[in-house]
Amino acid sequence: MSSPVSSTLRQRAIEEAQMVLARQPVYLDTETTGLGPSDEIVEISIVDHDGSILLETLVRPSRPIPAVATGIHGITNEEVQSARPWPIVWTDVRPLLQGRVVVIYNAEFDLRMMRQSLERYQLKWNQPINAYDLLELYSRFRGERDPRRGTFRYHSLDSAGRHSGIALPNAHRATADTLLARALLHHIAGLPY
Q: Where are the domains of the chain?
A: 4-189
Give the C-alpha distances (Å, rounded to integers) separating 148 from 59, 102, 139, 145, 180: 37, 29, 15, 9, 28
Strand 101-104 and strand 26-32: pairing? parallel
Q: What is the largest CA-CA distance in the chain?
A: 55
pLDDT in tens, 147-176: 888 889 999 999 999 999 998 766 789 999
pLDDT in tens, 56-105: 999 999 999 999 999 999 999 999 999 999 999 999 999 999 999 999 99
Helix residue ranges, H only, 120-173:
134-142, 157-163
Number of residues in the chain: 193
Q: Give the range among 3-7, 16-20, 29-33 with minimum mean pLDDT.
A: 3-7
As a whole number of angstroms, the distance between CA 123 and CA 12 comes to: 40
CATH class of the domain defined by 4-189: alpha beta
DSSP E strands in 12-139: the ranges are 26-32, 41-47, 53-58, 101-104, 130-133
pTM: 0.93
As a whole number of angstroms, the distance between CA 61 and CA 32 comes to: 9
